[in-house]
């Protein structure tokens, strides 16, 4: 169960804001549970919805003229600030993926970058205010670095990335990495980034590249955090059904920054609490297509799911 003081801070809106920069997308998804065409997706969307359960969220991204009004309205109804989401001539970024053999990894069938190729984040002035936490979701590391420079007031910088940037834009990625506080990355990506097959050697290697903390997402196997001193080992929630894994990692990261934003400290325990809540919310995301299940999550839900999950992890030796 979340601590009382935490809930009061959420309810009273006492958290720092978070600025989330990433993709706003239309996804076409195939899983053993079915097929969905051009549904709401994108790293900034999943992360934004998750973070918004805890604090103020300011999105930055780009969409095309085809982006459905209902999605825009949904984000506005959530009071997610989309004044930093540009509407450009052209079509919205579209990803078509399938999870047919293995629910742990997607096969990309098609990527239509569309307006994403023109993305050059410009922020309304108020995005700078109140020392926001900055979450750089998976986008071009050159753009991530521009964002870091554009928001010098950020009190914490958290970054995600993916295989494509690690392989093809390695130098830019290493440059950006020097400027971030926390790297959130999956297990395959951290091995690729560091060239170490042992996960814990890979984690230690990242700490020589700039970040002061690494959080590794291992899908159904949970997550691991290391800050150079403390390891934190966290399982995933037991799920008897996974409908659509898309957005699980972005949900985790969004909940993480949202939970960090409302806590008064950023010590080890603050990160652990944030990872627990991230785990619970990402389990909700994968139980529906797109954001269908995630958008039903409310604070009572989170409260009861967190209580159950914590009791399932409790070791009292």
Where on the chain is the footprint of a second copy (CB under 8 A)?
1-3, 198-201, 204, 218, 220-222, 224, 230-236, 238-242, 269, 272-273, 276-277, 306, 310, 312-317
Angle at 148 between CA 144 and CA 152, to 5 degrees: 170
Nearer to a second copy, 50 or 234 (CB): 234
Nearer to a second copy, 167 or 198 (CB): 198
Nearer to a second copy, 225 or 285 (CB): 225
Other CB atoms within 10 Å distance of the CB of residue 240: 5
Compute the least distance from the CB of residue 138 to a second copy, in Å: 24
Compute the least distance from the CB of residue 21 to a second copy, in Å: 28
Compute the least distance from the CB of residue 302 to a second copy, in Å: 11
Signed CA dihedral, 180, 186, 189, 193: sign only = positive
Compute the least distance from the CB of residue 12 to a second copy, in Å: 19
| Secondary structure string (H, E, C) spanning 15-79 | CCCEEEECCCEEEEEEECCEEEEEEEECHHHHHHHHHHCCCCEEEEEEEECCCCHHHHHHHHHCC
Nearer to a second copy, 2 or 26 (CB): 2
Q: Is residue 98 classed as helix, strand or coil in its secondary structure? A: strand
Angle at 249 between CA 243 and CA 251, to 5 degrees: 85
Nearer to a second copy, 126 or 230 (CB): 230
In the block, tokens 């554009």 appear at 150
Nearer to a second copy, 142 or 269 (CB): 269
Compute the least distance from the CB of residue 252 to a second copy, in Å: 15
Distance, CA of 86 to CA of 298 (rounded, Å) = 28
Compute the least distance from the CB of residue 99 to a second copy, in Å: 13
């Amino acid at each position: 169960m979340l601590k009382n003081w935490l809930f009061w801070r959420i309810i009273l809106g006492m958290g720092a804001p978070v600025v989330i920069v990433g993709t706003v997308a239309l996804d076409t998804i195939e899983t053993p549970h079915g097929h969905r065409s051009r549904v709401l997706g994108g790293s900034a969307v999943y992360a934004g919805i998750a973070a918004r359960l805890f604090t103020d969220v300011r999105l930055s991204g780009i969409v095309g003229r085809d982006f459905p009004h209902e999605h825009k309205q949904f984000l506005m109804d959530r009071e997610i600030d989309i004044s930093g989401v540009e509407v450009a001539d052209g079509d919205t970024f579209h990803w078509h993926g399938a999870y047919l053999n293995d629910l742990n990894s997607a096969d990309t069938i098609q990527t239509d970058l569309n307006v994403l190729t023109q993305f050059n984040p410009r922020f309304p002035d108020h995005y700078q205010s109140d020392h926001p936490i900055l979450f750089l979701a998976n986008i071009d590391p050159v753009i991530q670095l521009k964002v870091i420079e554009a928001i010098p007031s950020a009190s914490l910088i958290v970054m995600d990335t993916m295989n494509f940037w690690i392989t093809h834009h390695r130098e830019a990625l290493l440059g950006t990495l020097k400027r971030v506080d926390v790297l959130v990355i999956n297990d395959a990506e951290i091995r690729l980034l560091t060239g170490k097959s042992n996960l814990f050697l890979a984690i230690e290697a990242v700490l020589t590249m700039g970040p002061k903390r690494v959080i590794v997402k291992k899908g159904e196997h949970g997550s691991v955090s290391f800050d150079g001193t403390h390891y934190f080992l966290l399982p995933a929630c037991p799920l008897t059904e996974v409908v659509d894994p898309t957005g699980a990692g972005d949900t985790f990261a969004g909940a993480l920054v949202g939970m960090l934003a409302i806590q008064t400290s950023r010590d080890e325990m603050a990160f652990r609490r944030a990872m627990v809540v991230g785990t619970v919310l990402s389990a909700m995301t994968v139980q529906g297509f797109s954001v269908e299940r995630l958008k039903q999550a409310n604070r009572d839900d989170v409260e009861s799911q967190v209580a159950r999950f914590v009791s399932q992890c409790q070791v009292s030796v």
